[in-house]
Structure formats: structure tokens, C-alpha cells
Structure 1
Amino acid sequence: MNFKKILLGSAIAAASFGLYACGDDSSSPDTPVNPDNPGAEIIDLPKQSELSPVIFDNLKITVMSGINSLRGSLSGMIKLDDTFLDTSEPYTADVDVKIDSVGFAVGRLIDGNAFQEKINIHLDGVVFPTERVSLSQKYFEFSDLSGCGEFKLYIFVYSSSKEEGIQTSLYTSVYDQLTFTRPEQECQAALPPSSSSEVPPAPCTPVTAHPVSLSNSMGTSQSAINFETGLADNPHITIKFANNMATIVPGAGVTVYEDNSQTTGLDAEPKAGQTQICREDFVKSNFQLEDELTSGLWIDVVTADGKMYPVMIKKAMFESATKGTVDIVYYN
């Protein structure tokens, strides 16, 4: 890692941050109000540090179909800048730079104000402190929003530089470039279902879960798999370990997509009224997998003949920069 000079004494507390503006119960006709949620406060952003080791890499928010409504689907990576530190003063090569926590806030944009929405985005599978946080397959449902219109997603990242005998430096990074729109159709009252018609049962193609570990730790380890046979011959995917990252190398004619149905970090479970897991419970998104493999990630592996194999990345572990093990569960 290269080292860049750090300004000490500008540490910002990372234990908590205020997302609500302070105020009293009094109001005036000129006080901004969210008409669909009159009690909502305007978001009070934490102060951005003058310096920060955090990079926001290709962050996006995409509107797509969810379980009961549209949803916001996140992608991209939050990671450390290897070039942040440029000199050994005051730190040495032993400095420990880490991302300590990540927080989110969603604001409804009305007349230039961002009113706080009660939205939670969970980083399942991420253990802090860490060097990178993947936002792939992190979702929130539009049905939790107070209304329709334009919204903005804010991301707050707290990081630190630590070394024994030297004062710890804390940093706050704020990303406010992600906006999205919830269409008015979603807020219109749904018509009651017709009593004269019955909803036919949903189709179900039963699938079975298979846990397996893919590794290159030893010469006898299996790092590739054919999901039909469970063997390494004629593999659908191969796990590659490099630069302390695990990635997927698709086989001939194979394409790997992010899944658009399963919740990050949870094993698939039968839906209401079902007694088994169905292939129809998994929905391929339009986004091909580009990020590294992280714990809790759901993907769909599609073969040249169109057959789909849902896969969950249970855990990625490393012995070195080029050796490791990835535990997965696949369904066929």
C-alpha cells in the first residue's frame, strides 16, 4: 500500500450519526412538510471528512420487480483506496486502515428537502471492520415508502487509520448521488379481486439443495463444478482466487446473473402455501455478476441450453492472496 500524509486532529466520531434534524414541536405555515408523512423530519447529513480512505466504486440503484411491489436494487462496491496513504508520516507500513461501519438513509425529495423514510437496508454477511463492502443484492421494498415520487438514497461510511502508539484518525464519507422514482401507479388503490374467479395454484418445479465447498487449497481440492453431476468435469463454473478475492469463471456458454428474488444471506425457504422449494422461487435479474463473491450472495447460473441453477455463496475464506475456499449451496 502506498501512503499519503494524513491530517491528524480532524477525527470524526464514527460510533453514531444523526439522520434527523433537530427541532421543537412548534411549526409555522412555512415549515416544510411531507404531505404523505407529516411527522417525517428532514435528513440531517453527517459532515464529510476533509480526507477519507474510502472509494465508492460504480454504485447504482435500479428499480425492478420485488415480492409485492417494485424494489430498489443496489450494486457496486465500497472499498479502501490503496493510494490514500502516500508517505510514512505519521504512520508506518504497519498502519491498519479499515471500514468500521456503513449506514443508509432514504429521503423523499419535496421542494428541495429530503424527508426521512423508515427504510432499513441490511448488510447481511458483512463483518466489520473490513476492507470492502459489496452492495450487490442489497434491496429495499417500495411498499415501505410513504408515497410516490422522487427519492434519494444516502450512504454514510465510517473508517479509521490505526497504529499502536499513534493517535487514531477517524473519517466520515457521504455518498448522495443515488436517486430513484417510485411511479404514481404504485400508490393508487388496488381494485378488489373478483369473487367469481379463483387464482390458479402457482406452478412448482421441485429443486433440491446441495451444499459443497470449492477450494484450491490442496492439489486434490475441487475448485470447479458441474451442477448436474456435482463433479469437476465439464464444469459450469470455476472459482478463481487472486488478490484476496474469489470470482467466478463461467464455463462454455454459461452466463452468471444476480438473483432478483431471494433475500441476501438467507437460505431459500418454501413460500406460503408450498411444502417444498420450487425453481420458480428464483428469478434471474438482468444484471450479470461482475463483483467478487461475498458471503450471502445469491446468483443464478444459466447454461447454454437455458437451464438455470440457483446458487447461494455461504462463505468465502482465504488462506493467502491466491488460495481459499468458497462454501456454496446450489439447487437442481
Structure 2
Amino acid sequence: MSTPIAGLPERITIYEVGPRDGLQNESAPIPTEVKAGLVTRLLDAGLPVVEATSFVHPRWVPQLADAGELLDALTAHLGDAARDLPVLVPNERGLDRALERGCRHVAVFGSATQTFAQRNLNRSWDSQFAMFAPVVERALAAGADVRAYVSMCFGDPWEGAVDPDRVVETGQRLLAMGATQLSLGDTIGVGTAGQVGDLVGRFVAAGTPLEALALHFHDTYGQALANVLAGLHAGVTTYDASAGGLGGCPYARSATGNLATEDLLWFCRGLGIETGVDLDAVVATSRWVAGHLGRPSPSAVVRALAD
């Protein structure tokens, strides 16, 4: 039974990041066929967007070294629809690899802080934009859509609290390049509901359309769903989540798992918010992948429904 709250959106889009953001931090090797199975099961569960992988150098993220093979396997199973699966491209070489396989949706991954830009991108905060500009320009010229992630939007493990105006400036510069959606990431999970509402309000005041914003929460301090509610009150309708709560960030060791897709689905069900996603199917998928990973899912809903 659902009990809606007045003023919240009637429907949201869940942007599933488990196969990319969720698996990139695993220590044990994951077979390509398991990754392909995860993507296809999530699509079958009704998730409208499933980010498949990242064309990053295998030295930096070895778990995603099979990105090309994975896209080939997905193309064999899904046909032309595999080209609609988003992929992360850190630079022009990554974009080349994505375009070679006909990808229609790519993402770049920026930072709101100097230290994380240096550690994650080997660039200063300002020079990261020079790296992204040709990637975005070439992707758009090839007919691909571009999403931009902004990491460390609420706190940085090296710099502490992050100036929200710097986050807005980072996002505005990425949108000005031609990115059509901006995912604001609480990379280490320190954000709270008041900060979420404040940051969204600053973007709106700067002229950013609400439909261009997405929110990406980690549950390090148990605040992810409270932050989702703040985002809903602010009018944001796209939320990143990871099946089973998989993931973290290989360059920010204090980052624990992403908001679990199942927890978000249960939350939305209680509010009467439509997602178009089959909760039971996602739970079954998370149990399946947890078996391959050799450990239980950290998702509270997956654990509860397993009892």
C-alpha cells in the first residue's frame, strides 16, 4: 500500500549504474558472461537505462578491461539495442573505442575538487575541462548523447566540505560544452538532505533546467534515501542507483556502496511513485550476481525479502 506525499513527482527514472560503477571496484575477476547476464537481467526487469561499462585503460580499472568484449557479447544478444547502453569514456581514446562499436550514449566523469581531479584524472580542476571538450564535441558530432558526472559534490576525503558554488560552476561548464544531463554525485556519502535541496536550488537559480539534473547518492552514513526525498521535493526526477548496492569508487577509499536500486524501488513504491521497474526481478538479479561475487548483497531490501 502506498501513501503519496503532496508535491512529489508522480514518476521517476532510475539510471542503473551497477554493471559499471558497481562492478568496477570488485577485487576478484568477474567473467564477461556474468557482466552480460547482469545487464540483460536488469533490462528485462524494466530498468530504462543500464550503464554497461567504461572504456577506461585496464591499468586503472582492471575489472572493466573487457569493455569491448562485453559490448560485443551484448550486441550478439540484444542486437542494435546494445548501442543504446551508456558507457563511460574518460578521454578521447575511450571515445574512439565507444564509437567504433556504435555507442549512442557516452558519459564523462568530472570532479568538483582539485584533489580528486588530480587523483582520478591526473588533471587540475581547471584543466579537466580541456580534456573533456574534444570528447564531448566529437561525441555530439557523431550523433551520440553525452552525460556528465560531477564527483565530490558534497564532501571530499582530502579537502573536506565542498563549496556548492564550485559544484555549480563545474556542472555549468560541462553543460555548456553540450552535455545533456548532469549527474551530481555524493561520492563518499557525506551529504545530507538540506545540502541536497540547497545544491539543486543553486543550479536552478543559475539557469539549469531541472530535467537536466540527476542525483547519485552513496549510503556511507545511511543518508541516501533521505537525500532522495530532498531531491524529490526539489523536483529532480532522475536518480542513479546500483542493483544490490554494489560499488564504491576505486579512487576514494572512504566511498562505500551506491544507493541500492531495490531500496530506491521500495521507497518509491511506498510513496506511490511510478518507476516501471519490477522490484522482484531486480532482487532476484542481485541475489544471482551476489552468488557470483561470493558474498551477500548489502541492500537492506534484498536482505529483507530473502528472509
TM interval, short-chain normalised: under 0.3
TM-score of the superposed pair, with normalisation by structure 1: 0.23
TM-score, reference length from structure 2: 0.25
Q: Which has the higher helix share?
A: 2
Larger radius of gyration: 1
